[in-house]
Chains A and B, each alone.
Chain A
Amino acid sequence: MDRGVQSSLILQKNLKDNTEELHDFLADLKNWEKEMKEVDQRLASQSSSKDKANSDESPTAHPVRSKSHQGSAKSILKQTENNKQVEMNKQMENNKQTIMNDKNNKKNTKRLPCDYAAWDKFDVDKALQSSSSEEEKEEEKEEHKQPSPKTTPPVNILPANKKERATALKEEGNKLYSKGRLEDAVAKYTQGMALDPTNPLLPANRAMAYIKLKKYTAAEADCNRCLKLDCDYIKGYLRRATARLNLGKEELARRDCLKVLEMEPGNKEAKRELERLRGMASSREENKTSTEQEVKNNRLGKEKVAQDAPETKKEGVAAGKGNEQSEAVQATSHKRKENGKKMKIIEVNSSQEDKAPPKANQILPIVKPPHLRSKKPLRRIPVKDIGTWEDMKKKPVVEAKMADTSGGGGGQQDKTKERKAASPTKTSALVSSKPFVPSVPKTSHQFTQDWHRLSNQTEAACEYLKMIPPAFFRTVDLETGMLVEVAKVLLREEVSPSLAAQYLSALSVSHGFSINLMFLEADHKQVFLNLTSKCQQVEDHRTKMEELKAAIESS
């Protein structure tokens, strides 16, 4: 209890303290505000007065970071993703070398130091030699420098700045060159050269750009300039060799290559150039001796040469001119092949294209420009499905008349075959006979329909009937009219008696036949009677026919 009371008391006290403190603070704050405003105004007035008075003599204790500082900073201070400053320094080494040389010339003890790592590479003797003469000049200029940092930067910084600017331009030019923007690179190099005519790298790089642009004369001139500035610059010689080679000054190009190999015996580029020179020289000699034949060969292409070669060989052998000549001919043709290799490759391809004759039944597309194409409207050609290729091959196209009999027979044969097979192709039957004959009916209804369709064409009907196996008629259920018609067809001469007998006997067993017989009219009955008499001739069915006859006569 006590402790609880105590703790709550303590809490309350704390709260009180806090609020009190806050009040104090706030009161204090108000006083502070007033004070601050006074200070503020005082300072503001001070600043305005100061502005009027001290426009020229602002404190120069801390000058603006000098430009040489800035130049080195620009080139040296780069962010690296890795934490390796050493690499960074190495990259900038070339830059630094040139800058350092200038800096060492203008060494100033008072100047703020810029790059400590570069001091490791500092060469004291060199610096002393070069700086001794220039120091005097520098000191004079320095005195003028201090009082006016606000005005334009002092003169002695400018030369260093120029050189750095030139190097920076060289870097920019290199970047553009690697991007393929050769003209822009040339512009940058030119600018750099204007700023610093003593830098041998700039004309050398510009020469390279000119070579890529195929301006070989300009490239050679630049190489000359570069080599004047630095007579040991190997790349200068190499580039001049390339330029001269392309200008046709082969002798001079060779001399340059040899000079490079003198300075650096292992230089691959020089060796390559020499090889090329030799190749060009030898080919030129050959060209002089066998120009005519070469021209002929190049025109006619490889095949012709091949023909010529054996021809000449043959000639040589036949005429007995001797191996020497044939060999010579072979040698020249061989050489020609080598020399004209490049040309031949192209020509072989083109000749092959020309000589490949189109196949007889190959349909080539017609390519016409739009203004020459036909302006007629397109016509739709209906496409008929006439069966597979193999089937067409089996049945050559025949005339219409033949189709009925032979086609019909063929069709029936097919039918018998295909009945044994799973599914008869209806189309073949259609193909075989020209007149339209429906397929074998499966039901009496189908038979009736097909028959009606054939009602005009008695021949077709005959065909049709013959197609149908007699057994079919046992199960058929026909009307009276149909029966009569069937009977009429059966009476015809095309239908043989035996066949007719078969059909008739089958029909007699069919459903409703006897009823139909009763409904028959007189002339129809007669038809049937004739039919039966026709069929009586057939041995097998005689009895049946007699029965039928009796039945008909009685009904």
Chain B
Amino acid sequence: MEKPQILVYAEKSLNYSAFDVKWVPRSAKVVALGSHPRGTGALQVYELNDGKLELVHDVERSKALKCGTFGASTLEERHLCAGDFDGKMEITDLQNPSLPIYSVQAHSQIVNTIAGVGGLNIGKGAPEIATGSRDGLVKVWDPRQKDRPVITIEPQEGEQGRDCWSVAFGDAHSAEERTLCAGFDNGDLKMFDLRTMAIRWETNLQNGVCSIEFDRKDVEMNKLLATTLESKFHVFDLRTFHPEKGFARLSDQGHKSTVWCGRHLPQNREVFATTGGNGSVMLWKYSYPESRVKKLSDGSTEGVAGKVVPLQNATLATQPITSFSWSPDKTGLSVCSGLDQAIRVVIVTKLNVL
């Protein structure tokens, strides 16, 4: 009974499908992005008020929105970067949400995923936004540069690109260092070093990679959580790189369905939550092994993966929960949205004693 509890605090039923929800940093507000039934984009801001979610802003966009991030904007500005079904990437100021600040036709097809780094006083270096799309390209944008991406990562000439399903920034512990990780629908997981402009490591997880997250963006890369289809997720120990074997990996299963989303708790990077296609949310705790490094017979060093323990499992909905976001300001407060056209504010208790 010392286990953390997962409880729904507030629930809001929507008249559109919300694909992504994010906490607005330093506030009690939640942003929901999605698609109206007629195909137009929905951008709504709700505020948590006495146990209820109240609508603050409601904006309609020309095309359905798929994903959004606050990662690249400063705490003062808190601009939302969103990608839509047309391949456009737009940065919007939530105070004046009617017109975007920055707009670019990023990809030829839907922007499946977006990630930001360099803002919110997390990470060092220039603010950058990464977008991954169904056209197989991953592009990195700088809000200060118009129209052209700073980096384009494309499939080799002649190769057929796979849909990019998730991107994540990490390893931004100095102004120059930065790592971008991209997951694709065929299970490819590729890690790019943006300082040397080269692929650092790649592997294949057999199933489409739904979500990737580094446990912390602003430290030297420590752990990577990748969730895939067929109820699997993988945790990689990134401290030790072996030239042939790559990174040490731990795989586990949960939800008995697609693991849509995996998010680390901002206040404790060993705890993470995963959401599943069966509408459940599971809380996990990672524990390190005795020694994170192992020496092999030929002298090279190899990493050792630890163990992951499920702390709690709660079914919140009947439809898949596709998006989950921890509040960076309050431990245990989170918001999630699913394909059942509802957003829920979820409380997880007892996390401070873990």
Binding site for B on A (CB under 8 A): 10-11, 14-15, 17-18, 21-22, 25-26, 29-30, 32-33, 36-37, 39-40, 43-44, 46-48, 50, 61-65, 69-70, 72-74, 76-81, 83, 85, 88, 112-117, 149-150, 175
- State the CA gap A25–B5 with chains docked (Å): 12
User: Would you call A114 and B197 a contact (CB within 8 A)?
Assistant: yes
Picked from A17, A40, A80, A115, the residue with its CB within 8 Å of the CB of B26 is A40
- State the CA gap A150–B145 with chains docked (Å): 8
Q: 13 A-B pairs, CB-CB below 8 angstroms?
A: A22-B5, A33-B49, A61-B175, A62-B118, A62-B175, A77-B197, A78-B157, A79-B156, A79-B159, A113-B195, A115-B197, A115-B198, A149-B144
B136-166 interface bits toward A, Cβ cutoff 8 Å, 1 = contact, 0 = none: 0000101011001011111111010100000
Picked from A18, A46, A73, the residue with its CB within 8 Å of the CB of B5 is A18
Binding site for A on B (CB under 8 A): 1-2, 5, 7, 9, 24, 26-29, 47-51, 74-78, 95, 118, 124-127, 140, 142, 144-145, 148, 150-157, 159, 161, 175-176, 190, 192, 195-199, 202, 329-330, 332-333, 347, 349-350
User: Would you call B198 and A85 a contact (CB within 8 A)?
Assistant: yes
Residues of A within 8 A of B175 (CB): 61-62
User: Would you call A64 and B142 a contact (CB within 8 A)?
Assistant: yes
User: Would you call B332 and A74 a contact (CB within 8 A)?
Assistant: no
Residues of A within 8 A of B118 (CB): 62
- State the CA gap A471–B74 with chains docked (Å): 126
- State the CA gap A64–B333 with chains docked (Å): 35
- State the CA gap A15–B7 with chains docked (Å): 14
Picked from B74, B76, B199, the residue with its CB within 8 Å of the CB of A80 is B199
User: Would you call A62 and B349 a contact (CB within 8 A)?
Assistant: no
User: Would you call B198 and A76 a contact (CB within 8 A)?
Assistant: yes
Q: A14 — nearest CB in chain B belongs to which residue?
A: B1
User: Would you call A36 and B28 a contact (CB within 8 A)?
Assistant: yes
Picked from B1, B9, B126, B198, the residue with its CB within 8 Å of the CB of A18 is B1
Contacts A64-B150, A78-B154; A22 near B49 (Cβ below 8 A): no
Residues of A within 8 A of B9 (CB): 26, 29
User: Would you call A65 and B28 a contact (CB within 8 A)?
Assistant: no
- State the CA gap A32–B127 with chains docked (Å): 29
> B179 → chain A, closest Cβ, in Å?
13
User: Would you call A39 and B26 a contact (CB within 8 A)?
Assistant: yes
User: Would you call A36 and B329 a contact (CB within 8 A)?
Assistant: yes
User: Would you call A150 and B330 a contact (CB within 8 A)?
Assistant: no
Chain B interface mostly: loop
> B129 → chain A, closest Cβ, in Å?
12
- State the CA gap A112–B221 with chains docked (Å): 21
Contacts A36-B27, A64-B145, A70-B150; A88 near B330 (Cβ below 8 A): no
> B346 → chain A, closest Cβ, in Å?
12
Residues of A within 8 A of B156 (CB): 78-81, 88
Q: Which 6 A-B pairs have the closest CB atoms?
A: A14-B1, A47-B76, A40-B27, A62-B126, A36-B28, A65-B150
- State the CA gap A359–B198 with chains docked (Å): 77
Picked from A33, A50, A116, the residue with its CB within 8 Å of the CB of B196 is A116
Q: B125 — nearest CB in chain A belongs to which residue?
A: A62
Contacts A80-B156, A85-B199; A11 near B126 (Cβ below 8 A): no
- State the CA gap A441–B221 with chains docked (Å): 110
Contacts A22-B5, A37-B28, A64-B150; A112 near B195 (Cβ below 8 A): yes
- State the CA gap A61–B199 with chains docked (Å): 26
Contacts A37-B27, A43-B76; A25 near B151 (Cβ below 8 A): no
User: Would you call B151 and A115 a contact (CB within 8 A)?
Assistant: no
> A155 → chain B, closest Cβ, in Å?
17
> B248 → chain A, closest Cβ, in Å?
17
User: Would you call B153 and A43 a contact (CB within 8 A)?
Assistant: no
User: Would you call A63 and B126 a contact (CB within 8 A)?
Assistant: yes
Residues of A within 8 A of B28 (CB): 32-33, 36-37, 40
Chain A interface mostly: helix
Contacts A74-B152, A78-B154, A149-B144; A46 near B199 (Cβ below 8 A): no
Residues of A within 8 A of B95 (CB): 44, 48
User: Would you call B154 and A22 a contact (CB within 8 A)?
Assistant: no
> B75 → chain A, closest Cβ, in Å?
6
Residues of B within 8 A of A69 (CB): 150, 197
User: Would you call B26 and A43 a contact (CB within 8 A)?
Assistant: yes
Residues of B within 8 A of A43 (CB): 26-27, 75-76, 78
Picked from A32, A74, A83, A175, the residue with its CB within 8 Å of the CB of B330 is A32
- State the CA gap A25–B29 with chains docked (Å): 18
- State the CA gap A112–B7 with chains docked (Å): 48
Residues of B within 8 A of A63 (CB): 126
> A51 → chain B, closest Cβ, in Å?
8
User: Would you call A112 and B176 a contact (CB within 8 A)?
Assistant: yes
Residues of A within 8 A of B1 (CB): 10-11, 14-15, 17-18
18 additional A-B residue pairs with CB within 8 Å, beyond A73-B151, A80-B156, A113-B195: A21-B350, A26-B347, A37-B47, A44-B95, A47-B78, A48-B95, A63-B126, A64-B145, A65-B126, A69-B150, A77-B192, A78-B155, A79-B159, A79-B190, A83-B199, A112-B176, A115-B196, A175-B157
> A190 → chain B, closest Cβ, in Å?
22
Q: A114 — nearest CB in chain B belongs to which residue?
A: B197
> B57 → chain A, closest Cβ, in Å?
13
> A425 → chain B, closest Cβ, in Å?
72
User: Would you call A50 and B126 a contact (CB within 8 A)?
Assistant: no
Residues of A within 8 A of B125 (CB): 62
> B171 → chain A, closest Cβ, in Å?
16
User: Would you call B126 and A76 a contact (CB within 8 A)?
Assistant: no
Residues of B within 8 A of A22 (CB): 5, 7, 347, 349
Q: B2 — nearest CB in chain A belongs to which residue?
A: A14
Residues of A within 8 A of B190 (CB): 79
> B177 → chain A, closest Cβ, in Å?
11
Residues of A within 8 A of B75 (CB): 43
User: Would you call A50 and B76 a contact (CB within 8 A)?
Assistant: yes
User: Would you call A79 and B144 a contact (CB within 8 A)?
Assistant: no
Residues of A within 8 A of B126 (CB): 62-65
> B133 → chain A, closest Cβ, in Å?
13
Q: B348 — nearest CB in chain A belongs to which residue?
A: A25
Picked from A39, A64, A70, A79, the residue with its CB within 8 Å of the CB of B154 is A79
Residues of A within 8 A of B333 (CB): 29
Residues of B within 8 A of A17 (CB): 1
Residues of B within 8 A of A50 (CB): 76
Residues of A within 8 A of B199 (CB): 77, 79-80, 83, 85
> A45 → chain B, closest Cβ, in Å?
9
Residues of A within 8 A of B196 (CB): 113-117
Residues of A within 8 A of B347 (CB): 22, 25-26, 29
Contacts A32-B329, A40-B29, A112-B195; A77 near B151 (Cβ below 8 A): yes
Residues of B within 8 A of A70 (CB): 148, 150-151
Residues of B within 8 A of A48 (CB): 95
Contacts A63-B126, A78-B155; A83 near B76 (Cβ below 8 A): no
> B286 → chain A, closest Cβ, in Å?
24
> A104 → chain B, closest Cβ, in Å?
17
- State the CA gap A115–B157 with chains docked (Å): 20
Residues of B within 8 A of A65 (CB): 126, 140, 142, 150-151
> B78 → chain A, closest Cβ, in Å?
7
- State the CA gap A18–B5 with chains docked (Å): 8
Residues of A within 8 A of B150 (CB): 64-65, 69-70
- State the CA gap A112–B145 with chains docked (Å): 18
Residues of A within 8 A of B161 (CB): 79
> B233 → chain A, closest Cβ, in Å?
23
- State the CA gap A14–B28 with chains docked (Å): 30
Q: A40 — nearest CB in chain B belongs to which residue?
A: B27
Residues of B within 8 A of A64 (CB): 126, 142, 144-145, 150
> A162 → chain B, closest Cβ, in Å?
16
Q: B149 — nearest CB in chain A belongs to which residue?
A: A70
User: Would you call A117 and B198 a contact (CB within 8 A)?
Assistant: yes
> A9 → chain B, closest Cβ, in Å?
12
Contacts A18-B5, A21-B349; A29 near B330 (Cβ below 8 A): yes
- State the CA gap A33–B118 with chains docked (Å): 27
